[in-house]
Structure 1
Amino acid sequence: MQRTGTTRRGALTATGALALGAVLTGCGGDGEAADGRRPTRSGARADAVRAERALREKAVRDGARLIAHYDLVAEAHPATAAGLAPLRAAVREHGKALAPPRAKGAPDEAAPPAPGPVSTDPGTAVKELAAAERRRADAHTEALLTAEPELARLLASVAAAAAAHAYLLTELGKETAA
C-alpha cells in the first residue's frame, strides 16, 4: 500500500533541501547587471531593501490568511481546536518574525479576507489546512531564490516548520476522520 501525503522522510528531506538552499543563497554572483554594467551600490542596496520588504510583506499576508483559515476550522469544528491551537500560535510567531520593520506612525495593514467556507467534515477541513501549509512551505522555498542571506535563512526555517505542520495536520486529519 502506497502512502499519500507528507511522510517523515519527506519532511526531513525537505528540511535538508531548505537548509542547502539557504546555504547556497548566501553565495551570490559578481553583482553585474544583465547589460554588463555594475549597478551603483546605493541603487542596488535600495532595490535589495525594497525586494526584501516585498517578500516579508507577502509572507506576513499569507500567514495572516492562514491564521484566518485556522480560526474558521476551529470555529466550524470545535473538537479540532485543541490540536490546531499550537500550530496556529506558531504561524502567528512566524508572522512576527517575518514582519518588516514599521515606520513611525505607519498604519497597521488590514487583515486579508478569510478563505472561503471550510468543509463540513472535520477530517477534510484539517486536511485542507495541511494543503495550505504545504503551499506556504512551497512559497517560502521559492522565495529563497531571491532573498538576501539573512532573510533566506529565516524563510528556510519557516518553510521547514510549515512542512512539519503539514505532516502533523495530515496525521490529525486521519485521526479526526476515524
Structure 2
Amino acid sequence: MRRTGTTRRGALTATGAIALGAAVAGCTSGADDQAGSRKGSPRTAADRASADLTDKSLRTSALHTSGALLAQYEHVLRAYPSTAAGLSPLRDAVRARTKALSPGTGEHLGLVRSRADGPAAAVRELAASERSAADAHTAALLKAPPELARLLASLAAAASAHAYLLTELAKETTA
C-alpha cells in the first residue's frame, strides 16, 4: 500500500485539536463576559444587538456553505449512483449539520456546477469542497460568540473527517 502525507491518526489528531481549541476559546470568552457583568459593566442593548447580528451573519454564511455542500452530494449521487454506498452516510451527516445551523427550516440547497468526468473525480471534488467548508468554518470561529463557536468547531471537525474519508474513497472508486 502506498503511503500518503496524511495518516488517519494525523487527521483525527488535527480534528481533535481544532475542536478542543474552539471549545476552550468559547468557554473562556463566556467566563470573561460573566466576570465583566459582575464588575459593574453590563453589556448594553447595542452590544447585544451587535452580537446577535454577528451570530446571524455567521450562521447564515455557514448555512450557505453547508447547503452548497449538500447540493453537491445530491448532484454526485444522482449523476453516479454507483457511489451511493459510500456517499449516502456522509450526505446524511451533512444534512444533519445543515439542520443544526438552521433548525425548523427547510433544506437550503445551493447551485452545483461539477466538472467531474467520472465518479472518482466527483468524489475528489467533494473532498475538496469538504476541505473548503472546514476552512470556512474554522475562519468563522474567530468572530463567533461562544455557543456558535462550539458549533462551528464541530462542523469544521466533521468536514475535515469527511474530506479524509472522501479522499480514501476516491482511491477506491473506479472511473
Q: Could you tell me the TM-score, scaled by structure 1's length?
A: 0.81
Give, in angstroms, the shift of residue 57 of structure 1: 1.0
1:76 to partner: Cα distance: 1.5
Give the equivalent residue in structure 2 for 1:82: 85
Alpha-carbon shift at residue 75 of structure 1 (Å)? 1.4
Map of 1:119 onto structure 2: 116
Please tell me whether the aligned partners of residues 52 and 148 of structure 1 are also in contact (alpha carbons under 8 angstroms): yes
Q: Which residue of 2 aligns with 1:98?
A: 101
| Contact 2:11/2:164 (<8 A) preserved | no
Preserved contact between residue 6 and residue 166 of structure 1 (Cα < 8 Å): no
Out of 56, 59, 64, the residue aligned to residue 61 of structure 1 is: 64
Q: Does the CA contact (< 8 Å) of 1:22 and 1:144 recur in 2?
A: no
C-alpha distance in structure 1 between counterparts of 2:108 and 2:92, whole Å: 19
The corresponding residue for 1:21 is 22
CA spacing shift, 1:110–1:122, aligned 2, 3 Å: closer
Q: Match of 1:150, as an amino acid?
A: E
Q: Is the 8 A contact 2:127 2:164 kept in 1?
A: yes
**Structure 1 residues 87, 140: closer, same or farther in 2, change over 3 A?**
same
Q: Distance in 1 between matches of 2:107 and 2:3?
A: 44
Asked if structure 2 preserves the Cα contact closer than 8 Å seen for 1:25 and 1:144, the reply is no
Q: Which residue in 1 is equivalent to 2:159?
A: 162
Give the paired residue count: 166
Instruction: Please give the per-residue CA displacement for 1:78-136, whole angstroms capped at 9, x wherever unaligned.
Output: 1101211111111111111111777xxxxx796432x2134122111101100100111
1:5-28 Cα distance to aligned partner (Å, 9 max, x none): 574313322321332133124334
- Indicate the structure with greater helix content: 2
Q: Using the alignment, how far apart are the partners of 1:53 and 1:83 within structure 2?
A: 33
**Deviation for aligned residue 1:69:** 0.5
For residues 110 and 85 of structure 1, what CA distance do their matches in structure 2 show? 18
Query: Could you tell me how far apart the structure 2 residues matched to 1:109 and 1:92 are?
Result: 8
Structure 1 counterpart of 2:110, one-letter code: P
SS of equivalent residue, structure 1 residue 27 = helix
The alignment's TM-score, normalised by the length of structure 2, stands at 0.82
Q: Does 1:172 align with 2:163?
A: no
**Structure 1 residues 24 and 119, CA, compared in 2 at 3 Å: closer, same or farther?**
same
2:131 corresponding residue in structure 1: 134
| Alpha-carbon distance in structure 2 between the residues aligned to 1:109 and 1:167 | 25
Aligned-residue sequence identity (percent) comes to: 48
**What amino acid is the match of 2:9?**
R
- Asked whether 1:46 is paired with 2:52, we answer no
Structure 1: state its 5+ residue gaps: 32-37, 103-107
